[in-house]
Amino acid sequence: MRIPFNKPYLTGKEIEYIEDSLRRGDIGGDGYYTEKVTSLLESRFSLDKVLMTTSCTHALEMAADLIELKEGDEVILPSFTFPSTANSVINRGAKPVFAEIKKTTFNIDPSDIEKKITDKTRAVIPVHYAGVGCEMEQIHYLAEKYNLYIIEDAAQGVNAIYKDSYLGGIGDFACYSFHCSKNYVSGEGGALVINNCSNEIKDRAEIIRDKGTNRPHFLRGEVDKYTWVDKGSSYLPSDLLMAVLYAQLEEMDKIKHMREKIFRRYYDSLKQFLPGSFLDSISYIPEDRDSNYHIFYLKFNNREIRDFVMNRLQNKGITVSFHYIPLHSSPMGQKLGYRAEDLEVTLEVAATILRLPLYPDLSDEQLTYIIENIVDVFKEL
Ligand SMILES: Cc1ncc(COP(=O)(O)O)c(C=O)c1O
């Protein structure tokens, strides 16, 4: 049996909505489906303002522009993340300051954030790893105490909850991803969320997103000709992509529950091996949080065991994976002056984690095959 690592789920409405979008003849940015997706996200997650973007990477860059990040500024973020989180900082000439993650959730550790705050710190970017929220209450406390912006990297956090709030609705800004590897997909795509900010910031966000022009104001009839008014770029997704995304988001809870079922089966079958001589932990969701079940992982006691299990499963046709190369120990991190040993927990997690296939189309038969093979390998350890 060959089992891929990921497979985007299709609800069956995608093609109908793409055709509808084509017929409407409005396939550029901010068309019919962009509006539908925007209001769905705003109302479902109680968000103040959502602007759909071409990617989460671009949403992060917009947030950096909106807080006017510049040379000499520092931003605290985890090293256990995707390069886009840090690129948004260095592309503006500012310095990414990497903080340690917690051993339980692999999310940024608030106690290490506080140790790394200086008078140059402007913002913190908590990354909600695997669709499980960061310690947002403590991060909020620090942000208020030291006057910092919070930019949530909620690339993996769509439709997950921390206490009473959806992820993305907690920080000053938040960034979602709808890349084809995520729970809800448009191929490439993202969104910038702006919470509790002034109308001036929201206006500016629209301008930055639309090539530095006041075209959004023109389209609303607020000015009779649009022109170049600020710096900006082109971060508007085609309405064709938003047609795909609308089909996905209409069924967001169904998709979440299908993922949850698979997650629970992994969890219930594998928790018997904890605490173990070879298995350190498996995916963990604190009680005050609701995950969107983006990732299921196993964490082993050392890299040799992880690699052994990984090779055995790959040989059985089961595609498994690991991530991230910690940013501080990557070639770019070294250029920035970091040393691998600076963040021990991050390094250890990256060397011992293994991710299992998790997507709605994973059949019962495939799931049984994966679990049986894992149990077989474990018997050899
Ligand atoms: C934590 C995190 N941030 C940002 C991104 C970038 O998202 P996008 O591909 O939509 O630009 C990813 C993508 O995997 C991610 O995992």
**Ligand 1 mean position, distance from CA 283 (Å):** 20
Residues 58 and 100 in one domain: yes
Average pLDDT, whole number, for the chain? 97
330: nearest Cα among 346, 308, 311: 346
Give tens-digit pLDDT for 288-302.
Answer: 999 999 999 999 999
Residues 145 and 278 in one domain: no
Residues 163 and 256 in one domain: no
Instruction: Give the position of tokens 């082993």.
Output: 300
Does 1 fall in a domain? Answer: no
Looking at residue 73, its pLDDT comes to 98
Indicate the angle between helix axes 239-249 and 32-44, nearest 10 degrees. 40
Give tens-digit pLDDT for 179-219.
Answer: 999 999 999 999 999 998 899 999 999 999 999 999 999 99
Residue range 274-287: mean pLDDT, rounded? 94
Q: Maximum distance among all alpha carbons in the chain?
A: 73
Looking at residue 196, its pLDDT comes to 85
Residue range 364-379: mean pLDDT, rounded? 97
Please report which helix (H) or strand (E) contains residue 92, including its range. Answer: none
Reported pTM? 0.98
Pocket test for ligand 1, best of 84, 129, 180 (most atoms within 8 A of CB): 84
Does 3 fall in a domain? Answer: no
Does 2 fall in a domain? Answer: no
Does 35 fall in a domain? Answer: yes
Confidence band (pLDDT; 50, 70, 90) for 143?
very high
Residues 76 and 189 in one domain: yes
Looking at residue 155, its pLDDT comes to 98
Question: Is residue 275 over pLDDT 90?
Answer: no
158: nearest Cα among 56, 66, 234: 56
CB of residue 179 inside a 6 A radius of ligand 1: yes
Looking at residue 289, its pLDDT comes to 97
Please tell me the residue having the least CA distance from ligand 1 atom 14: 82
CB of residue 84 inside a 6 A radius of ligand 1: yes
Residue range 90-94: mean pLDDT, rounded? 98
Tokens of 91: 């592309």
Give tens-digit pLDDT for 15-24.
Answer: 999 999 999 9
22: nearest Cα among 191, 202, 238, 196: 238
Looking at residue 197, its pLDDT comes to 84
Which CATH number covers residue 44?
3.40.640.10
Residue 337 lies in domain: 252-379
Choose one of 206, 228, 249: the last residue of a domain.
Answer: 249
Residues 265 and 210 in one domain: no
Looking at residue 18, its pLDDT comes to 98
**Ligand 1 mean position, distance from CA 177 (Å):** 6
Does 9 fall in a domain? Answer: no
Query: SS3 string of 228-278?
Result: ECCCCCECCCCHHHHHHHHHHHCCHHHHHHHHHHHHHHHHHHHHHHCCCCC
Residues 99 and 245 in one domain: yes
Does 112 fall in a domain? Answer: yes
Pocket test for ligand 1, best of 61, 91, 101, 177 (most atoms within 8 A of CB): 177
Confidence band (pLDDT; 50, 70, 90) for 243?
very high
CB of residue 152 inside a 6 A radius of ligand 1: no
1: nearest Cα among 364, 378, 380: 364
Output the CA–CA distances (angstroms, integers) from residue 305 to 156, 229, 245, 369, in the order listed.
27, 57, 39, 21
Looking at residue 292, its pLDDT comes to 98
153: nearest Cα among 130, 135, 175: 175
Name the residue type at position 20.
D
Which CATH number covers residue 313?
3.90.1150.10
Share of the chain above pLDDT 90, in %: 98
The residues that bridge with 163 in the sheet, in sequence order, are none
Give tens-digit pLDDT for 255-271.
Answer: 999 999 999 999 999 99
At residue 74, what are phi and psi to the nearest 5 degrees?
-125, 145
Query: SS3 string of 26-43?
Result: CCCCCCHHHHHHHHHHHH
Residues 67 and 132 in one domain: yes
Residues 165 and 125 in one domain: yes
Question: Is residue 33 over pLDDT 90?
Answer: yes
Looking at residue 274, its pLDDT comes to 92
- Distance of alpha carbon 29 from alpha carbon 219, whole angstroms: 12
For 283, the 3-state DSSP assignment is: coil
Give tens-digit pLDDT for 303-331.
Answer: 999 999 999 999 999 999 999 999 999 99
Residues 227 and 264 in one domain: no
State the closest ligand 1 atom to the C-alpha of 128, by its place in the atom list counted from 1.
1
CB of residue 127 inside a 6 A radius of ligand 1: yes
Residues 227 and 267 in one domain: no
Looking at residue 276, its pLDDT comes to 82
Query: Where are the alpha helices (H) located in the chain, listed in sequence order?
Result: 14-24, 32-44, 56-66, 83-90, 110-116, 136-146, 199-209, 215-219, 239-249, 252-270, 303-315, 331-335, 344-352, 364-379
Choose one of 201, 224, 249: the last residue of a domain.
Answer: 249
Looking at residue 29, its pLDDT comes to 96
Reported for 138-143, long-range contacts at CB under 8 A and 24+ positions apart, including other chains, are: 138/110, 139/108, 139/110, 139/113, 140/170, 142/110, 142/113, 142/114, 142/117
Does 6 fall in a domain? Answer: no
How many domains would you assign to the chain? 2
Choose one of 231, 249, 267: the last residue of a domain.
Answer: 249
**Ligand 1 mean position, distance from CA 357 (Å):** 18
State the closest ligand 1 atom to the C-alpha of 57, by its place in the atom list counted from 1.
11
Give tens-digit pLDDT for 108-129.
Answer: 999 999 999 999 999 999 999 9
At residue 294, what are phi and psi to the nearest 5 degrees?
-75, -40
CB of residue 153 inside a 6 A radius of ligand 1: yes
For 166, the 3-state DSSP assignment is: strand
Residues 51 and 78 in one domain: yes
Residues 218 and 359 in one domain: no
Question: Is residue 55 over pLDDT 90?
Answer: yes
Does 350 fall in a domain? Answer: yes
Give tens-digit pLDDT for 58-87.
Answer: 999 999 999 999 999 999 999 999 999 999
